[in-house]
């Protein structure tokens, strides 16, 4: 069987797959910008690893699996994916992201960066001798918007620090040992109004786009900190910038953005992530969509990819199916 990898993704992050797979697979590498070469490779492929499937991708008549090496499906045009192919994704990012979120919360209350910067000049700012006290994470309230894998792992870690966790989700219901209750999205405003930290961990679709908007920011405490590790556009860009600029909220920790550099072989691209100058605001911590990007992530995700390749080769049910083959989707009842 043949696995197709785009040359732009053949940068080492998928290197563990041949070692982890147990069934025989031939690896094809093709440049997706060379339409003829990519189409020829697609005609041979049984599986493709890609985070994208735009409408103009060539048909893969024998394609049986489109395997995402990540979680987000917002760059997959499901109508354009060959009907005989399953679309599966890979998670494993919730560990790194949840640790990243807790690191951001701890940094916000301890002011570790400022303490270090001040002390390097010889100033004992923030010490027991003089200066302001820093905060505790213990006793704070964290509201999680989107209680999926990331939300639950963050709640688990926050609970260990004595943080009270509340959540809203499109799938509401009883809570768990870390979160009191998962409320419906209709209760978003009263939930975030009580929070010291608000974590947005939603996937992006039309129901979540801009879900934290100007009315949501007006409902927040003036000291509230908004964190985004889901998709940038789930928070209204203009409303977020204005809330931080005007200091109607305490600030923000932003890891997912509104504008990204084109995928290229440049090691460190230069590109502003927003049309607004967030980089000028001292109450914003900015990171370049790095929260999940740990040294162990590739191995964990490649393990999932390898398992699915083995399952496909053996005719076994696939893991993390986002969309089964169209032929496997039940037809709607006749009207």
252-264 in b/e form (b: 16+ CB < 10 A) is: bbbbbbbeeeeee
Q: Is 67 helix (H, G, I), strand (E, B) or coil?
A: strand
Are 2-92+297-328 and 94-286 the same fold in CATH? Answer: yes
Q: What angle do CA 20, 71, 17 make, to 5 degrees?
A: 15
β-sheet with 86-88: strand ranges across: 26-30, 2-6, 47-49, 65-67, 86-88, 321-323
pLDDT band at 92 (very low <50, low <70, confident <90, very high): very high
Strands of 84-224, DSSP E: 86-88, 141-145, 164-169, 173-174, 181-184, 197-200
β-sheet with 173-174: strand ranges across: 173-174, 181-184, 164-169, 141-145, 197-200, 225-228, 251-254, 284-286
List Cα–Cα distances, 219 to 143, 187, 316, in angstroms.
Answer: 13, 12, 49
Which residues, listed in sequence order, are joined to residue 47 by a DSSP beta bridge? 3, 65
pLDDT in tens, 28-65: 999 999 999 999 999 999 999 999 999 999 999 999 99
pLDDT band at 95 (very low <50, low <70, confident <90, very high): very high
Residue 175 pLDDT > 80: yes
Domain positions in the chain: 2-92+297-328, 94-286
- The whole-number average pLDDT for the span 103-109 is 98
pLDDT band at 72 (very low <50, low <70, confident <90, very high): confident
Residue 159 pLDDT > 90: yes
pTM above 0.75, yes or no: yes
Contact 229, 97 (CB under 8 A): yes
pLDDT band at 334 (very low <50, low <70, confident <90, very high): very low
Would you state the pLDDT for residue 211?
Answer: 97
Q: Specify the CATH class of 94-286 in words.
A: alpha beta
Would you state the pLDDT for residue 246?
Answer: 99
Would you state the pLDDT for residue 180?
Answer: 83
Strands of 98-174, DSSP E: 141-145, 164-169, 173-174
Q: Specify the CATH class of 2-92+297-328 in words.
A: alpha beta
Would you state the pLDDT for residue 11?
Answer: 82
Angle between helices 94-110 and 149-160 in degrees, nearest 10:
40
pLDDT band at 266 (very low <50, low <70, confident <90, very high): low
Contact 45, 3 (CB under 8 A): yes
Q: Using CA atoms, how far apart are residues 81 and 323, in angstroms rounded to an integer?
A: 10
Q: Which residue has the tokens 């109004």?
A: 193
């Amino acid at each position: 069987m043949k696995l197709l990898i785009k040359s732009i993704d053949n940068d080492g992050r998928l290197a563990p797959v041949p070692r982890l797979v147990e069934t025989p697979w031939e690896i094809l590498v093709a440049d997706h910008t060379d339409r003829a070469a990519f189409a020829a490779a697609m005609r041979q492929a049984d599986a493709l690893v890609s985070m994208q499937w735009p409408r103009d991708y060539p048909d893969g008549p024998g394609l049986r699996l489109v395997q995402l090496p990540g979680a987000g499906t917002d760059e997959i045009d499901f109508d354009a994916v060959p009907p005989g192919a399953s679309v599966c994704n890979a998670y494993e990012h919730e560990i790194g992201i949840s640790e990243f979120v807790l690191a951001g919360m701890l940094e916000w209350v301890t002011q570790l960066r400022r303490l270090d910067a001040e002390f390097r000049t010889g100033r004992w700012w923030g010490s027991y001798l003089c200066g302001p006290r820093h905060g505790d994470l213990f006793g704070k309230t964290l509201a999680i918007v989107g209680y999926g894998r990331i939300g639950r792992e963050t709640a688990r870690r926050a609970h260990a620090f004595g943080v009270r966790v509340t959540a809203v989700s499109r799938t509401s219901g009883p809570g768990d040992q870390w979160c009191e209750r998962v409320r419906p999205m209709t209760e978003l405003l009263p939930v975030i109004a009580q929070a010291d930290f608000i974590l947005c961990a939603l996937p992006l679709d039309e129901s979540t786009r801009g879900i934290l908007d100007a009315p949501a920011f007006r409902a927040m405490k003036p000291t509230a900190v908004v964190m985004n590790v889901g998709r940038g556009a789930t928070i209204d860009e203009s409303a977020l910038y204005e809330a931080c600029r005007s200091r109607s909220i305490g600030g923000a920790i932003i890891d997912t953005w509104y504008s990204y550099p084109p995928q290229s072989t440049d090691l460190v691209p230069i590109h502003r992530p927003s049309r607004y100058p967030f980089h000028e605001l001292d109450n914003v911590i900015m990171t370049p969509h790095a929260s999940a990007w740990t040294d162990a992530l590739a191995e964990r995700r490649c393990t999932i990819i390898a398992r699915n390749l083995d399952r496909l080769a053996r005719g076994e049910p696939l893991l993390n199916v986002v969309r089964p083959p169209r032929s496997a989707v039940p037809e709607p009842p006749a009207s």
